[in-house]
Structure formats: structure tokens, C-alpha cells
């Protein structure tokens, strides 16, 4: 099957709705055009962001110990390492989620991972001042995962005046964004065509806000609003 045929079966909104965290994977290898397409997207994200994201395939060591067992990971041999300098939490979240969406379009399953893997065993090349911030477990899942509950929309946003349709669409996508232990510690504010997204005090919330903003842009349409720095 040609890659464009694979990707065209699922647009980004469909990918958002279909994607759930998966921690148990089959032995099927990521190879051929799917591997190439994923690597091309990694390269594109690195060019845009200045990050040093690396794709690690058929590498069992990082998820081979007790940490992975504690996190309920099984047979995880593929992952994306999000690498950057201090202060790159939000970009790691944003561009990492772009890669999660690409993986979903390509028929792969994913899971964001903050702690239950061994950084020292990941065969990544780090430049001065860089570190592995997070990784994204990757592969063909034994299941497609399952959805988690979300907070009510009005707990997650503030609107000055009437809520615009594009803002509502953006919020619906943002509510499906994966966040650490499903905490959803963020607030998104609409003022006219200007939107701000603020992380609240919580574990990994600065990474989460990048993921949330990626989802919001997909749902709302980037042409309908501009971000205000918080």
C-alpha cells in the first residue's frame, strides 16, 4: 500500500479522536515507507523547533527494566526521544504531539512517557546542554487503547463575551489532548480572536500545554485566531 493511501484514510481531527495511550506492543517492526514518513516528520519538526528529536527503532534497552514493568509497558522497542535544552518543555510537548498525530495517521500507537524508562540506556546523541526531556513509546499496539474522562469544558476555559464556534471546536480538540495522569491542568482564554493557554501548577504541565496547544490549533483552525503569550 502506498503511503499517501495510508495517510489519507485519517485526517488530523480523526487522529485526535482515535488516538489513545497504548503500553503493550506486538513484535511487528516499523519499517519501509512508514518508517521513512515518520523520520521525515521528525526532521521537519527539528528544523522548525531547533530541538534534537530522535527516532529510536528496534531498541529494547530503554524499556527493558523494572521501571518499564512498573509503568505496565510490554514489548516496547520503539520510541521517539524528545531532546532539547532547558526551557524547551512547551516545544517538546507541541512537536511531540505533532509526531503522535503522524504516527496515528500511519497506523501506529503511542504513549507519552515521563519516567518509566531508562534515559541512560537510550542510544541518543546529545549536544552540549541538551537532555532527554520525555519520550513517546511507539509501535503496533496489542489494542487501540481506551478513552479517558475529561473535565467539563467550562472548567478548562474562560471566554470574554460569546464563545466563538471555532473556539468551541478548538476546546473540544484540546479536551482530548493527553496530559500527565490525565490531570488537565490548563486554562485556555478567548478574547476576541486572541487566545492564551496557561499551564497550571502540576507535574509536567509545561509539557502538557504544548500538547494542548497543538490539539487546539487543529480543532480551531490556525487561520481563525492568534496566540497571546502568557
Domain boundaries, the chain: 3-139, 153-227
User: Measured between alpha carbons, how far is 179 from 106 in angstroms, rounded to an integer?
Assistant: 22
pTM: 0.94
User: Measured between alpha carbons, how far is 15 from 103 in angstroms, rounded to an integer?
Assistant: 9
Of all residues in the chain, what percent carry a pLDDT higher than 90?
90
CATH of span 153-227: 3.40.109.30
List, in order, residues 6 or more apart from 56 with CB less than 8 Å away.
62, 78, 79, 80, 81, 122, 123, 124
151 close to 184: Cβ distance less than 8 angstroms? yes
If you average pLDDT over residues 87-108, what whole number do you get? 98
In this chain, the answer to whether the domains covering 3-139 and 153-227 adopt an identical fold is yes
User: Measured between alpha carbons, how far is 24 from 134 in angstroms, rounded to an integer?
Assistant: 18
**Other C-beta atoms lying within 10 Å of the C-beta of residue 28:** 10
Alpha-carbon distances, residue 62 vs 123, 178, 201 (angstroms): 9, 22, 29
* pLDDT score of 55 more than 70: yes
**Other C-beta atoms lying within 10 Å of the C-beta of residue 117:** 24
| Closest among 35, 114, 126, 41 to 71, alpha carbons compared | 114
At residue 8 the predicted structure's pLDDT band, cuts being 50, 70 and 90, is very low
**What is the reported pLDDT for 68?**
80
Q: What is the CA radius of gyration of the chain?
A: 17
153 close to 184: Cβ distance less than 8 angstroms? no
Strands 157-160 and 186-191: parallel
**What is the reported pLDDT for 154?**
97
Q: Does domain 3-139 have CATH number 2.60.120.560?
A: no
List, in order, residues 6 or more apart from 167 with CB less than 8 Å away.
157, 159, 190, 195, 220, 225
* pLDDT score of 43 more than 90: yes
Phi, psi of 19 (to 5 degrees): -80, 130
* pLDDT score of 129 more than 80: yes
**What is the reported pLDDT for 7?**
44
* pLDDT score of 181 more than 50: yes
Helix axes 205-220, 89-105, angle to 10 degrees: 50
Amino acid at each position: 500500500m502506498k503511503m499517501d493511501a495510508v495517510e489519507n484514510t485519517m485526517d488530523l481531527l480523526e487522529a485526535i479522536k482515535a488516538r489513545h495511550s497504548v503500553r503493550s506492543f506486538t513484535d511487528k517492526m516499523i519499517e519501509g515507507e512508514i518508517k521513512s514518513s515518520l523520520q521525515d516528520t521528525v526532521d521537519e519538526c527539528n528544523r522548525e523547533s531547533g530541538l534534537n528529536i530522535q527516532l529510536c527503532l528496534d531498541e529494547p534497552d530503554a524499556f527493558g527494566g523494572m521501571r518499564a514493568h512498573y509503568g505496565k509497558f510490554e514489548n516496547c522497542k520503539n520510541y521517539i526521544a524528545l531532546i532539547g535544552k532547558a526551557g524547551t518543555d512547551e516545544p517538546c510537548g507541541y512537536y511531540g504531539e505533532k509526531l503522535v498525530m503522524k504516527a496515528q495517521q500511519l497506523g501506529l500507537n503511542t504513549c507519552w512517557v515521563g519516567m518509566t524508562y531508562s534515559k541512560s540506556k537510550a542510544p541518543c546523541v546529545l549536544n552540549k546542554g541538551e537532555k532527554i526531556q520525555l519520550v513517546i513509546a511507539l509501535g503496533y499496539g496489542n489494542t487501540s487503547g481506551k478513552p479517558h474522562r475529561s473535565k467539563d469544558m467550562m472548567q478548562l476555559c474562560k471566554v470574554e463575551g460569546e464563545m466563538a464556534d471555532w473556539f468551541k471546536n478548538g476546546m473540544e480538540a484540546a479536551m482530548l489532548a493527553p496530559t500527565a495522569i490525565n490531570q488537565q491542568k490548563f486554562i485556555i482564554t478567548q478574547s476576541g480572536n486572541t487566545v492564551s493557554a496557561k499551564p497550571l501548577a502540576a507535574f509536567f504541565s509545561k509539557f502538557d500545554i504544548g500538547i494542548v496547544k497543538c490539539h487546539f490549533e487543529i480543532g480551531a483552525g490556525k487561520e481563525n485566531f492568534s496566540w497571546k503569550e502568557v
